[in-house]
Amino acid sequence: MLKLKGNRAEMLLRSASLATIAVSSLVWSPAVIAQEAEEEPRADTIVVTGSRIAEVPVGSAATVLGRADIETSAGVTIDRIIKELPQNFDLGVSENSRAQTGGSGNIVYGNTVNLRGIGPYATLVLIDGHRVVNNSRSTDPSVLPTLGVQRVEVVADGASAIYGSDAVAGVVNLIPRRNLDGLEMFARYGFADRADFDENAMGVAFGDMFDGGQFMVAYEHVRRSRLSGDDRDFFTADQTAFGGRDYRTTRCAPGTLVIGTTTYALPEQYTQANANAITAGTRNLCETNPGQDLFPRQEYKSANATFDYEIAPWVEIFADAFWSRRDFDRRAATPSVRLTVPQTNAFFVRPDFFTGTSYFIDYSFENDYPITGTTGYAKSWQVTPGLRFNLPGGWTAEALVGIGETRDFSGSYDGLNNAALNAALASSNPQLAFDPYGLGRTNAAVLSGIFNQLFLAPTNGDLTVYEARANGPLFELPGGTVAVAAGYERQEFEVALGTARGNPGTPITFRNFGRTVDSGYIEVLLPIFGAGNAVPGFEELTINAAIRHDSYSDAGKTTNPKIGVNWTPTDGLTLRGSYGTSFRAPTLPEIYGNSNNLFGQQYTNPAGGATLLGFALSGQNLDLKPETATTWSVGADFDAVPNLRLSLTYFNVDYSNQVIANLSNLAILTQAADYEGTGVILRGTAARDRVQELLNAGIVLLGTPITGGDINTVDIFVDGRSRNLGKSITRGIDFAGSYLIDVSANDTLTLSASGTYLINYKVATTPTAATQDRLNQIFQPLKFKARVSADWEHGPISARVLATHVGGYTNTAIAPNEPVGSYTPIDLSVTYRFGQEMPGTLLEGLSITGEVRNVFDIDPPYVNLAPGGNGSGGYDATASNPIGRVFALGARLVF
């Protein structure tokens, strides 16, 4: 385990000195450098993600979201802007759906990027090409304000040969602004016309470009209200009105009396005076998740800065930094349980026909105690300074050091105290007893004692990363210059996973883990044909080859190559292809577990009807191994026709040893056949024996209690720990195109389309199992996603119509399976720029934008699925938006 000495500021100064020494060891005499170096302003340099040498990634396609795309997006944060890309799937690490792979670790309700839907940890997120501190699980792109980002570069292709771990599905590189010269401000407010949702954002950025350098600083504040499931009629347990099933529960207020296997609906007032006023076979039915948020209230504060300064013609200092804090508040559903009510209870009601000593009541606490849910924050900062040297012969060298930390916290303070509840149920003292009949007779102090369990989960992460690299020409060929890039990187990461569970005052205990990674890479660019030797059929032919070796202190060693080819047979047509291997090292929480507990949870019943109570285990798996993948792609880019751009890519990803964790998978019973023989799912006696074994070993049960402590009521056990169980094969096609039409002297129309069409997505849940088709099934990658837009420019006015399409798919969480309809909301925005009409005035840099998202107020397509604690229910939270129509007005001012 690594031990960090001194404070972070001292580390930053020490590391900067080391970086200077490292670069100095790579270069010649400064006097020689000063004579031969060529000046090139940093603000004009664009290196597209995916290569350390080439201006474009050879063999791979790149998607670039520039300033105009960021400003016109309906997303109010960078993570939501990236979510609009068809290649990005909202599965797992998402604020509104945590029921898929990786979701159980998303305790602070953040978002990340999940390219191809392969997994939320299989896409690497960088800032200006370097690694970013995170909570040891995933990186949320919203750490940067939108005003501080120049562009977002996305390469949806394996890139571990260049960047190392996590770059299986691709890389997202956030490029901070380095060319702002002046002041820019914006404000925006939006609200849903159903009057239960609103959001606002405001920000300011200032930059100055001066002789020899630049600096920029940006700050943003974004607030978005919660959206409660109570405000959406499709998020309901009784779905018969939609043609679905009745998923309502008998755990209501008033509750349902259960004697043996017979149920009795309790009346509003049930006392000994009307003890016989109940009817066998009746039951009370009510919502399963009352009060639950579909997504939480979020508040973002973020800032970033960049700095470049040419100390001398041969050396330049540069830096980027960010600070971010996101606060969240999510209301959980009111808890409900099956109570064991003994005859000793002070309020016990005995019907004449009952001769036993206790019975059950299915009960909801909705009228007893206001549940606050979970609150917390995610905050982080990082500073990354470096030096850049211009060397003889056109070579450059860089060294940088990044130092950052993240502090996440998730806390709930009113969890159910099972011991206190059982004691209150057994008490014969009315002042100490719990009233299970819902007549409000329970003492407030007793209720406070029943709902006093806290669950605190802080995560502290600290990252120090060192990079030294050089690139330049080797020699000339007739086709062009052979160039090479090589570098060394070191990551030092520490994480402290904290927990506190129990009564008020329970101290937080931390488990501390560390990881170091030493990496080296080399990349070669080989132009076979070019301007000097072009022949018909071979205008250009470029080969790029890279290889990288990574050595982990805890996950072993790995070497990954990649080769890419660009071939231009004729002007306006480029054919490309790539092949390589990638890997993903398991995260530290995946290895050691977020906790070591049993969790009582409600599981989707594949036979229909009310959810089922089960118990899931969290904990460590020290045998966890890295995930590995082989990726290849072929594609074509066409721009031979003026104003027309077309791109097509076929991709293939074979992914093995995938880490699967089922702690938050509440629909796992619908996949029971996939886990046969793995021990992940146990039923009946086997489940009871396993739960008893864990309880005997001191594992603490959290959440829904075992009724009256009776282990015989347990029927479901799920091993939610991370395992190398999965493998998958993903094949598909990405496409993009745009066409600019000059309608008149003052009017242009741009038509654009982009999308992803998956051909195959086959999965094996265990290494020895045969692959099964999972394409276009609920909570899996969907076959078709696309965006189509028309942008009209008319002098100071511009207008945009955008349609986002998610194709229909199959709901396999219900038997028999059912189709789910497609979803195509349409957005409209209009912008007026005052500058073209009022030059030289204070309004010259002002623009006003009005927009309507989901113009026709289209509800998500109906999905026959019971409401779940981690998202979805009556709709699919991973494929549609429950907000509905939103009106927004924004203003942007540039000086």
pLDDT at 799: 96
Q: Which of 661-665, 828-832, 848-852, 881-885 has the lowest mean pLDDT?
A: 661-665
Q: Is 383 helix (H, G, I), strand (E, B) or coil?
A: strand
pLDDT at 384: 98
**Residue of higher predicted confidence among 41 and 448:** 448
How many Cα atoms are found within 13 Å in the side-chain-facing hemisphere of 295? Answer: 22
Within a 10 A sphere around the Cβ of 835, how many other Cβ atoms?
15
Report whether pLDDT(684) > 70.
yes
User: For residue 75, which of 97, 62, 90 has the smallest C-alpha distance?
Assistant: 90
pLDDT at 47: 47
Distance from the Cα of residue 673 to its chain's centroid: 28
User: DSSP E strands: which ranges in 227-269?
Assistant: 227-228, 256-259, 262-265
pLDDT at 707: 56
pLDDT at 708: 53
pLDDT category, 5, cuts 50, 70, 90? Answer: very low
Report whether pLDDT(864) > 90.
yes
d(CA 409, CA 456): 7
What is the C-alpha R_g of the chain?
30
Taking only the tens place, the pLDDT of each residue in 456-484 is: 999 999 999 999 999 999 999 999 999 99
Place of tokens 């032919």: 541
User: For residue 644, which of 753, 538, 734 has the smallest C-alpha distance?
Assistant: 753
Mean pLDDT to the nearest integer, 727-741: 95
**Chain length of the chain:** 895
Do strands 612-617 and 681-683 pair parallel, antiparallel, or not at all (unpaired)?
Answer: unpaired
Taking only the tens place, the pLDDT of each residue in 377-410 is: 999 999 999 999 999 999 999 999 999 999 999 9
Place of tokens 């883990």: 513
Taking only the tens place, the pLDDT of each residue in 700-722 is: 887 666 655 567 778 899 998 88
Q: Are 542 and 119 in contact (CB under 8 A)?
A: no
pLDDT category, 768, cuts 50, 70, 90? Answer: confident
CB burial of residue 795 (10 Å; 0-12, 13-18, 19+): exposed
User: For residue 249, which of 735, 867, 851 has the smallest C-alpha distance?
Assistant: 867
Token pair for 585? 């090292």
Mean pLDDT rounded to a whole number for the chain: 89
pLDDT at 704: 65
Q: What is the 3-state secondary structure (H, E, C) of 15-41?
A: HHHHHHHHHHCCCCCHHHHHHHCCCCC
Report whether pLDDT(102) > 90.
no
Over the range 672-686, which residues count as b (16 or more CB within 10 Å of their CB) and which as e? eebbeeeebbbeeee
pLDDT category, 18, cuts 50, 70, 90? Answer: very low
Give 786's contacts (C-beta < 8 A, 6+ positions apart): 86, 753, 754, 755, 756, 804, 805
Give the largest Cα separation in the chain, rounded.
105
Q: Which of 104-118, 638-652, 789-803 has the lowest mean pLDDT?
A: 104-118
Taking only the tens place, the pLDDT of each residue in 333-372 is: 888 999 999 999 999 999 999 999 999 999 999 999 887 8
pLDDT at 870: 77
pLDDT at 580: 97
pLDDT at 507: 95
pLDDT category, 842, cuts 50, 70, 90? Answer: confident
Mean pLDDT to the nearest integer, 720-738: 92
pLDDT category, 98, cuts 50, 70, 90? Answer: confident
Mean pLDDT to the nearest integer, 101-110: 78
Taking only the tens place, the pLDDT of each residue in 191-246 is: 998 778 999 999 999 999 999 999 999 999 999 999 999 999 999 999 999 999 99
Token pair for 788? 């189509």
Give 174's contacts (C-beta < 8 A, 6+ positions apart): 78, 125, 126, 127, 128, 141, 144, 149, 152
pLDDT category, 330, cuts 50, 70, 90? Answer: very high
pLDDT at 385: 98
pLDDT at 17: 38
Give 195's contacts (C-beta < 8 A, 6+ positions apart): none
Mean pLDDT to the nearest integer, 741-755: 94
d(CA 96, CA 107): 12
pLDDT at 665: 83
